[in-house]
Structure formats: structure tokens, C-alpha cells
Structure 1
Amino acid sequence: MSAPLIVSLYVLGTLDDVDKVLADIAIGYFIEKTMDEGKDYCERKINLVKSNFDLLIEVPLSSSSFTFNRIKHITL
């Protein structure tokens, strides 16, 4: 298993206690969960990212560029 030291540096690691894991919920914030709870959390996050990605794919390119053009011409 790879364990992150920083964003782009990983080292090999092992789990001493396979009953509990730490889930990264935000930058620098972790929560302790059981292995099953951690797996469920990861699956829910993966599904959330996939559904958000699917929503972004559905947005037509022309409507997003139209919004960008409208915003670009606003003067303060």
C-alpha cells in the first residue's frame, strides 16, 4: 500500500491495525472509521465525483462560453 507524505511523494506502508482506518475528509482533517465504514465512505465519494463529472459533461460548450462572454463584458 502507498502512503502519501506530501501531494507528490508516496512511500510503501502497511496497516498495523486493520480494524480501523483514517479517512481524509478535507485538507488536514481525518476521521477514524472501521474498515467497512471507510470502504463505504470511499465508495460514496467516488460515486459523488462520478455524478458531478457526468453533470459537467452534460453542460453544452456553447452555453458555458455564452456565460463566459457575458461575464467578460461586465465593467466595474
Structure 2
Amino acid sequence: MSQAQPQQINVADLDLNQLSDVKRQLEEELNHFTNSFAQLKQAQAKFKACVENVSEIKPENQNKTILVPLTNSLYVPGKLSNPTHVIVDIGTGYFVQKTREEAAKHYNAKVDYIRTNLETLEETITKKRDNLNYLVNVMQAKLQSQSAPSKSS
């Protein structure tokens, strides 16, 4: 079985309606990638906050009442019974007990993983923006070339 190779088409050969369709598709893709980038940035910020929260746990706070974060804006009082271990959300509703060092390592690995994805996504967004700018320039040139003969007659 042979795989179909993507066919390359010169955008200058397309008419304005086709160029409009391509532009709309590029704008949708760019919007999707931009939204994904923002969501990844938020996730990265949450993991960085987790690293900070883990580092704030001190052995001298054992059996003292502390505020436990349930969300970014909701805290409940609780007692720190074991300052050397924390419960870590590893995803899809699963939690494991880890030492503070293991938890920090886990969250730092998440931050680094997201950083590499952000870098890749940023490159993709830049390429899409360049493609969109090129397409807009081609559309403007076609519009000018279509309106130029009508002015001279």
C-alpha cells in the first residue's frame, strides 16, 4: 500500500474565494493553538504553585492547624500530621503519597515537560502566523491586480 503524499499548491494560483477559505482555516488553527498555549501556561503555573506549596511545608508545623488549599481560592483548616510526606495528584483522580522531595521532583518534571511543549507550540504558532501574513499579502496583491485594470478603462 502506498501512502498518499500531500499535494502542494501554490497559493498564488488560487482565486480569492479559495484564498478566503484557506485564510479562515489558518485563523481557526491559529486560534486553537493560541488557546492551547494559554491553557498550557495555566497548567504550568499550577504545577509551579504546587512546587511552592510543597516547599512551604515545615516540620515545625506538625500538628498545628494550617490552611489546606482545595483550589486556588478555597482553603480549609487542617492539621499537618506528617510533614515529611504529602499526597500528590498524579492525574485522572489518582493520588499517591510521596516525600516532599519526591513531590517537588514530580511537579518540577511536569513544569519542564510543559515547557518543552510550550516551546514546540510557540514555533508552530509563529509558522502559522507567518503563513497567515503571507496569505493576506497574496490576497491583497490579487485584489490590487483585479482593481487596477478597472481603473484604467
Closer/same/farther in 2, CA of residues 54 and 9 from structure 1, 3 Å limit: same
Counterpart check, 1:11 vs 2:75: yes
Could you say which structure has the higher strand fraction? Answer: 1
Aligned residue identity for 2:107: C
Alpha-carbon distance in structure 1 between the residues aligned to 2:131 and 2:118: 15
- Report which of the two structures shows the higher radius of gyration computed on alpha carbons: 2
With structure 1 as the length reference, what TM-score do the two structures score? Answer: 0.64
Counterpart check, 1:33 vs 2:33: no
Aligned residue identity for 2:69: A
Aligned residue identity for 1:10: L
Could you say which structure has the higher helix fraction? Answer: 2
Q: CA deviation at 1:64?
A: 8.6
Q: What runs of 5+ residues in structure 1 fail to find an aligned partner?
A: 66-76
More deviation, 11-20/22-31 = 11-20
Q: Could you tell me the percent identity over the aligned residues?
A: 24
Residue 24 of structure 1 corresponds to 89
- Greater relative CO (CA pairs within 8 A, separation 6+): 2
* Structure 1 residue matching 2:102: 3-state secondary structure: helix
User: RMSD of the alignment, in Å?
Assistant: 2.6
What CA deviation, in whole Å up to 9, does each residue of 1:16-59 have, x standing for no partner? 31111111111311111111100100110011111111110011
Q: CA deviation at 1:15?
A: 3.2
* Structure 2 residue matching 1:32: 3-state secondary structure: strand
Question: Which segments of structure 1 move beyond 4 Å, counting only runs of 4 or more?
Answer: 62-65
* Aligned length, in residue pairs: 63
Aligned residue identity for 1:11: Y
Alpha-carbon distance in structure 2 between the residues aligned to 1:31 and 1:64: 45
Closer/same/farther in 2, CA of residues 32 and 57 from structure 1, 3 Å limit: same
